Amino acid sequence: MKQIRFSYQGLTASKHEVGIAGDFTSWDILELADLGGIYAITLPVESGTHRYKFIVDGVWMPDPANPHTEPDPFGGRNSVLIVESETAPSYDWQQIYENPSLLESNIEHYIDLIRFAEKRYELRVRWHPGIDCQVEAVIAEQPHLCRMVGRTNSHEVYSCSFEADQDQINIWLKFSKQGQQLFLGSSGFVRLPAEVHAKHITEDIPIFKIPAWVAEGVIYQIFPDRFCNGDPSLNPAFNRWYYANSRTAPKDGEKLRKNQEYFHFEEDWYDIANLKQNPYLDEGQPDWWSFYGGDLAGIIQKLDYLQDLGVTILYFNPLWEAKSNHKYDAANFMSIDPAFGDEATMQHLVKEAHQRGMKIILDVAFNHTGETFWAFRDCVEKGEKSQWWNWYDWKKWPLPEPLPPDFNPEEYYQCWWGIKDMPDLNYDLSREHPAENYVKEISKAEVNQSLVDHLLQTATWWLQSIGIDGFRLDVPDEVPYWFWQLFRNHVRSIKEDSWLVGEIWHDARSWVNHRYFDSVMNYAYFKDIVLEHFILQDLNALEFKARISEGLARYPHHASAAMMNLLGSHDTWRIATLAKDKLSHLKAALVFQMCFLGTPHIYYGDEILMQGEGDPDNRRPFNWKWEADALASEHRALLQALINLRKMQSVLQTGAFAWLDSETEILAFKRYGYEQTIEVYINITNAPFTIPNKVHEPLFTMGKCSQQNDVLVLRPGAAIVMKVDC
């Protein structure tokens, strides 16, 4: 990769906070150093075309020194950077064996060491692509064969795990092919083992521990208002103070004014027409303000249904009190929304789930509160006299009363995506939002301690008083890094085996580690790739395998095993709607999901082929009449069988992953460990595919699989999962 220097010089001599974000930083914001009024950073950037922006005092803008720009998806412009391919040639084994000086000779350039338990480590070796050879690590004089786990454009990644309890770990690497050997230690490449000097690692490597129950589980996501109405007495009557001026429908023939809300209850659970077209809004505008009455009692009633399906982790969208049906606009972080139930009911739900072997994680949004949040209301009333004034980034006060139809909240306070209902929280008193987000070291921040204390108290309440098992963290890249380090330490001090999973849609290497999150929602290296190959068919099999391999190269093995591998969520179109008439391809995608490395995620209703386009259509009430639909029943039975397969075969949960043949249009891979190997073949091509008949025990078949002489034939749309001789 080339080293590219980026610099920014302000129009004034005043001090600025300057960051850069682009596809080469996974859109994480990196801070530029102040070199006397010129702000600069040098970054390694791979060859190709890249998009980026500067962030100056919280404002995202293109690079003034770069004339090349293009429109971004939000009405602005990205700077465009073209990095030419490296001129250095690629090498084969014979070339580097004869002349090792062609390669970087510092062993630290090649290795990463991850400690995932008290005495357990994973060693990851970055090696040059195309130099085909065997890679071994010699650790404390013991050889460990390294397996290839993934590949990026610039390197291949090999891995091994080992146990060590000494204060010092000695490591050197061995590369070999056809009797020729190269050794790499602290003094560079040598040809004789007697000449290699081990790398001595003496520092105390922090433990990056992830709860075992995550990789072993299957996740089921519930949008509470739309799952099951178990207690009609809780149906919202909109008698809380914040509904006072938003519960009357317009008169016949009239429309809602701009920014006017109309909250109401849908009496018919199965009436979904307004989720696509609100009768009081212009064509194409849905109804965001309807409630269907789903509640905690309904979830408790359906725990047997969920247990029968086989899921073991329940992931709830927010449950705290809030004005909206989605609850991301909290009115009180430490509460249960009255339309869902009360604290005792939630505690009962947790107890019942735990008795069934199910864990519970809760969606929390700590980037912002709702405009109904008690601290924000105090600020609206008292202005700077409020003791919580600095919890928010205020620009002007007081707010107009009543709010005019053309009210622009960003003239008064910083808010999430300009939405008045979601004022942003102010973590760093020395920086405005979002400039505070990329600060990693707490020593560089002026901590808003009362806010931080309240958020940590919130975590304590949910973990101890309610008894949940972890958190799904909403838009965590819009909250300072240093806060998440505090949050992780606090949560783990309360419940050691709690799970922290972030909602990050891109490469999240800077987030997935011992400081921040165990894993993330795997949009970047699972969902998007699987949809593009199986459903949209924009990726051929070779491209799909390459993208999957890239994801496996990015994260430690135990983090990859805990990734939330989703096909859809409350933020995306329903997978069945995207699949349309490609139901066989959707089934094949499920086989891949349940047999791949990572924790499978099911969005409520996807198991029965529920439909839905964009928000809120993708949040339809659950179809509890599904048993009358033969296709829905068949699809649920398939998913149920795949979940059972995964739960019965531990190698599908935590075993290593490898492609069996990366050069064909067939998806063939294995999951393997010390005692077991499982092979998976999936055929979504238009032609039959044959494989050697090495079946010991067929564990699962789908579609037409037949035996002909000494081969198995997979017809189009077929898949087979089987044990083989190790």
What are φ and ψ of residue 112, in 5° steps? -130, 140
Q: Is 161 exposed, middle or buried (0-12, 13-18, 19+ CB in 10 A)?
A: middle
- C-beta separation of 339 from 235 below 8 A: yes
For residues 100 and 537, what is the distance between their CA atoms, to the nearest angstrom? 43
Three-state secondary structure of 635-675: HHHHHHHHHHHHHHCCHHHHCEEEECCCCCCCEEEEEECCC
Place of tokens 């819009």: 478
Neighbours of 114 (CB within 10 A): 22
Measuring CA to CA, which residue among 364, 567, 347 is closest to residue 470? Answer: 364
* Preceding amide of 398 cis, omega within 30: yes
The partner residues of 679 in beta bridges, in order of sequence, read 670, 722
Catalytic residue among 477, 503, 607, 679: 503
Token representation of residue 240 = 């809380």
Token representation of residue 599 = 């924790």
For residues 31 and 58, what is the distance between their CA atoms, to the nearest angstrom? 12
Query: In 399-480, which residue ranges form alpha helices assigned H by DSSP?
Result: 449-460
- C-beta separation of 511 from 524 below 8 A: no
Question: Helix or strand or coil: residue 578?
Answer: helix
First to last CA, the chain: 39
Catalytic residue among 321, 421, 474, 518: 474
What are φ and ψ of residue 95, in 5° steps? -65, -45
Place of tokens 């037409």: 704
Task: Please count the CA atoms within 13 angstroms of the CA of 20 that sit on its side-chain side.
Answer: 22
474 catalytically annotated: yes
290-291/264-265 β-pairing: parallel
406 catalytically annotated: no
Measuring CA to CA, which residue among 353, 362, 363, 364 is closest to residue 311? Answer: 353
Measuring CA to CA, which residue among 563, 719, 587, 589 is closest to residue 654? Answer: 563
Question: Helix or strand or coil: residue 443?
Answer: helix
Query: Strand ranges (DSSP E) for 317-390?
Result: 321-322, 330-332, 359-364
Distances 549 to 95, 606, 662 between C-alpha atoms, Å: 26, 27, 10
For residues 429 and 391, what is the distance between their CA atoms, to the nearest angstrom? 9
Give Cβ neighbours of residue 94 (< 8 Å, ≥ 6 apart): none
- C-beta separation of 24 from 78 below 8 A: no
What are φ and ψ of residue 617, in 5° steps? -60, -30
The partner residues of 77 in beta bridges, in order of sequence, read 71
Instruction: Region of 37 please: left (phi>0), alpha (psi -120 to 50) or beta.
Output: left
Give the chain's length: 726
- C-beta separation of 459 from 495 below 8 A: no
For residues 539 and 531, what is the distance between their CA atoms, to the nearest angstrom? 9
CA angle 585, 588, 594 (to 5 degrees): 145
Buried residues in 49-67 as b, exposed as e (16+ CB within 10 A): ebbbbbbbebebebbeeee
499-502/519-520 β-pairing: parallel
Instruction: Region of 628 please: left (phi>0), alpha (psi -120 to 50) or beta.
Output: alpha
Active site residues: 474, 503
